Amino acid sequence: MKLLKVTIHNFRGIVDATISFQKYSLLVGANNAGKSTIIDCIRAFYEKDGYKYKKENDFPLKGAQGEESWIELEFYLTAQEQDSLKEEYQGTNNQLKVRKYFQTNVKLHDGKNASGSILGYLSNGDLSKEPFYGAKNVQNGKFGDLIYIPAISKVDEHTKLTGPSALRDLITNIMSDVVENSNAYTGLTNSVSKFAAEIRDIETADKRSLSGFEIEINKLLSPWQTKFNLKFATPSATEIIKSMLSWDIRDDQHEKPQSIEYFGSGFQRHFIYTLIQLGAKYVPQKATKKMKDFSPSLNLVLFEEPEAFLHPPQQNDLARSLIKISDSEDWQIVCSTHSAYFVSRNADQIPSIIRTQRKNGITSTFQVNKEIWQSIINSNKEIGKIPEIQKRMHLDDSKDDMEALKYFLWLNPDRSGVFFAQQVLLVEGPSETVLINKLLDDNKLTLPHGTYVLDCLGKYNIHRFMNLLNSLGVTHSVLHDDDTNTNEHKGLNQLIQESTNSRLTKAIKQIPDNLEKMLGLPPNNSPHRKPQHILFCYTSNQIGVSNLNSFCKLVESCFVP
């Protein structure tokens, strides 16, 4: 089973949103944009660890459409899972769609209110009036298992053996399959039986024994023609883990065991992730025979801010590992993140990135689906219609896969910052980027809060980033050289204008001729030295005050309403 799509109606800041999930998906966006809202809504569906919908906290304070609140989940089933599903719920393309009402006035067939119930969509497309498989709490076992890791959590929540935890689940999965058929467990069973037989007759100093207690109580129960028997049961795998098993971690430097709390937050976070990683390897093998009951297999991991307490190289390693885990059968991972390092690892899978945005208390979601992705590719290829550029293009440049590779190359951890920005200023290259950032540092330039200055690696790619930002709902402006001295640049300027989004593109401004001329600097014959040359001229006061002021006013005008 895999989770394909989630639709949310009236939950906190989300009025209506539909989100598609891949095997590995990222929720990105600025702080307080609604990433946790999506995760918590899914948690409220599963009610794992007692987490439930609460109207006072979860119903929207503003913008709500009606009084209902619900979430719909759409799953893809394996052929085996589809065959075991009740025929009335079997939809097309092995898909199952269910809705959980958090609150509603809808009545079930028996007249009860449907709030808190999960209802399945029937094969004819109608929503059933009966709880899915007849049970109100059917989410337990019918939609896989949910593993939730909050941004800040105690390691004990994931490692305790006395209650539900990731570590106990892993060990139980292994123990359950091996103990009953092992010689060691047979030996334990025999030992318990021998112990039980001997311990019953052993007396205390004052002549008390278990067998004597049993005899005495049976004398008192004899008028009722009943007997009381003490029994010693061989402990199950779960009882062995809970009562007889413990663990610690040995610090090789100090050569002694230490409590997990002794180690830093980064190690604790990595240890939690390690349990998930092993979970993908140590899950029990599914039986190949046809399933009689519908009990699909899915481990859905909701991981909030996995980058917490990890330095950048560790973030890269964790991101790669999580992607690898998601390749395992029956595992799916959804992360909410503020890390550009995590996003950069998904740069070749743009549709797996879900951007959230909060405005006036309402959360919106943006995602590049297959249709939008194809539209981006087609728009990006418009550059090939400029005759001067067409002459220089290679055959590979016209292939769809090349556009995906370009984003993968360009969206490094630095440029991936655009996914978290309130708004973006698109510029041609590093010269504009370093100068604008330096002017911001020196308080000679003021831009709106949350603005990210993006180096587009040349005018030839500005339209590509505009198309991507348009699809992800990112407000942006453009600043580029005029360069109208050639037909090629006239065509590029026109392409940039045609890539405008009336709602998201705030302004397109042109630097008269080029940046060096506007700053009163001589042209640089070595393009790779241009950024450092401009920055050196600025820091050594070689740029005239009037030229610099004109440039600052031009940059600031990019965001004037």
Answer whether residue 434 is part of any domain: yes
Lowest mean pLDDT among 65-74, 271-280, 414-423, 431-440: 271-280
Range of the domain at 42: 2-157+294-359
- Total domains, the chain: 3
Q: Using the 8-state DSSP alphabet, how is residue 319 labeled? A: H
Max mean pLDDT among 243-257, 377-391, 393-407 falls in 377-391
- Predicted confidence band at 281 (pLDDT cuts at 50, 70, 90)? low
Nearest CA-CA partner of 276 in 306, 252, 251? 306
Rounded mean pLDDT, 503-526: 91
| 170 shares a domain with 104 | no
- Tokens 């497309």 sit at which residue? 125
What was the pLDDT predicted at 458? 92
Question: Using an 8 Å Cβ cutoff, are 422 and 476 in contact?
Answer: no
d(CA 480, CA 429): 9
Give 162 or 378, the one with higher predicted confidence: 378
Q: Is pLDDT of 431 > 60?
A: yes
The answer to whether position 267 is within a domain reads: no
- Tell whether the model's pLDDT for residue 143 goes beyond 90: yes
Query: Where residue 321 falls among pLDDT bands split at 50, 70, 90?
Result: confident
CATH code of the domain containing 64: 3.40.50.300
Unique residue bearing structure tokens 């009163």: 520
Query: What's the pLDDT score for residue 291?
Result: 55
Q: Is residue 255 part of a domain?
A: no
Examine the domain organization and report whether 32 and 80 are in the same domain: yes
Q: Which pTM value belongs to this model? A: 0.82
Residue 138 has pLDDT above 70, yes or no: no
User: What span, in angstroms and rounded, lies between the C-alpha atoms of 22 and 96?
Assistant: 16
**Lookup result for tokens 């001067």:** 388
Question: Domain check: are 403 and 322 in the same one?
Answer: no
Span 188-210, average pLDDT:
90
**Pairing outcome for strands 331-336 and 24-28:** parallel
Measured CA to CA, the distance from residue 495 to residue 79 in angstroms comes to 48
Residue 260 lies in a domain: no
CA atoms lying within 13 Å on the CB side of residue 198: 6
Does 121 have pLDDT greater than 70?
yes
Span 72-80, average pLDDT: 95
Q: For residue 92, give every residue at least 6 positions away whose Cβ sits within 8 Å of its Cβ, in sequence order, or none.
A: none
Pair (407, 543) in one structural domain: yes
Q: 279 in a domain, yes or no?
A: no
Whether 40 and 67 have beta carbons less than 8 Å apart is answered as: no
Strand partners, 452: 424
**506 & 450 share domain:** yes
- Note whether residue 41 is domain-resident: yes
- Residues 426, 520, single domain; the answer is yes
Dihedral angle, C-alpha 124, 127, 129, 131, nearest 10 ° = 110
| One domain for residues 300 and 441 | no
Q: What's the pLDDT score for residue 557?
A: 96
Examine the domain organization and report whether 374 and 508 are in the same domain. yes
Structural domain includes residue 200: yes
Give the end of a domain, one of 322, 339, 359: 359
pLDDT surpasses 90 at 257: no
Q: Hey, what are 42's tokens? A: 């899914």
Per-residue pLDDT tens over the stretch 482-505? 987 778 889 999 999 999 999 999
pLDDT confidence of residue 288 = 45
pLDDT of 378 > 80? The answer is: yes
Torsion over CA of 323, 346, 354 and 507, rounded to 10 degrees? 170
Handedness of CA 521, 525, 530, 532 (dihedral sign): negative
Closest CA to 501 of 479, 461, 469: 469
Mean pLDDT of all residues in 23-30? 93
pLDDT at residue 129 greater than cutoff 90: yes
Q: Is the pLDDT confidence value at 220 over 50?
A: yes
- pLDDT, residue 283, reads 58
- Cα angle vertex 352, ends 349, 357, to 5°? 125
pLDDT of residue 123: 92
Same domain, yes or no: 60 and 37? yes
Nearest CA to 248 among 163, 184, 167, 170? 167
Q: 419 pLDDT exceeds 70?
A: yes
Residue 388: C-alpha distances to residues 191, 193, 210, 473, 486 (Å): 87, 90, 99, 32, 10
For 345, the token pair is 């690892």
299 beta partners:
145, 331
Instruction: Identify whether 289 is part of a domain.
Output: no
Looking at residue 289, its pLDDT comes to 45
Query: Please, what is the average pLDDT of the chain?
Result: 88
- 354 and 373 housed in the same domain: no
Residues 15 and 89 in one domain: yes
Burial of 395 (0-12, 13-18, 19+ CB in 10 A): exposed
Q: How far apart are CA 201 and CA 291, in angstroms?
A: 48
Q: What is the DSSP string of 381-424?
A: GGGGGSHHHHTT--GGGGSHHHHHHHHHHH--TTGGGGGG-SEE
What mean pLDDT is predicted for residues 109-127? 94
Q: Answer yes or no: is pLDDT of 155 > 80.
A: no
pLDDT at 35 over 90: yes
**pLDDT score of 282:** 67
Residues 373 and 354 in one domain: no
Alpha helix (H) residue ranges in 411-529: 430-441, 462-471, 487-498, 515-519
Treating both helix axes as pointing N-terminal to C-terminal, what angle do 312-326 and 265-282 enclose, rounded to 10 degrees? 20
Query: Cα separation of 487 and 504, whole Å?
Result: 28
